[in-house]
Amino acid sequence: GQNIDQPTEMTATEGAIVQINCTYQTSGFNGLFWYQQHAGEAPTFLSYNVLDGLEEKGRFSSFLSRSKGYSYLLLKELQMKDSASYLCAVRGRNSGYALNFGKGTSLLVTP
C-alpha cells in the first residue's frame, strides 16, 4: 500500500515564500505529482517529478528525494490567489496508472 502525509493547513503572508512538504511510503515508485485545487474546482496540474532534484516552473518549484521518500512544493512571491488546497500524489510501480493522493494542504495567504 501507500501512505502519503502532508500538513493539513498552512498560513503565509502575501509576497513571502512557503514550502509544503510531502512524505510518502510506497511499494515501488513511478512519479510524484503536485496539484492545486481551489474550493469547488478541478485539481490543476502543477508539477511532476520522477527523478531526484528540483524542478522549477515560474513561481512554483518542486523537489524530490526518492531515497528519503520526500518531496516539497515551493511557492515564491505569494499572491492572494494562491490560497487553495495543494495535493501531493504518488504513482507506485505496482499501482498501475492510479494516482494515490494525500489529504491535501490547505494554504491561506494573508495580506
Partner 1 sequence: NAGVMQNPRHLVRRRGQEARLRCSPMKGHSHVYWYRQLPEEGLKFMVYLQKENIIDESGMPKERFSAEFPKEGPSILRIQQVVRGDSAAYFCASSPDRGPTQAKNIQYFGAGTRLSVL
| Closer residue to partner 1 in complex, CB, 16/98 | 98
Instruction: Measure the CA–CA gap between 104 and 111, rounded to whole angstroms.
Output: 23
Q: Could you tell me which stretch among 13-21, 58-66, 69-77, 96-104 binds partner 1 (CB under 8 A)? A: 96-104
All three cell numbers of 74, joined, read 515551493
Q: Could you tell me which stretch among 14-22, 25-33, 61-69, 74-82 binds partner 1 (CB under 8 A)? A: 25-33
Contact call for residue 90 and partner 1 (CB under 8 A): no
Instruction: Measure the CA–CA gap between 75 and 16, rounded to whole angstroms.
Output: 8
76 class by beta-carbon count within 10 Å (0-12 exposed, 13-18 middle, 19+ buried): middle
Question: Would you tell me which residues interact with partner 1 (CB under 8 A)?
Answer: 4, 30-31, 33, 35, 40-45, 48, 50, 87, 89, 91, 95-104
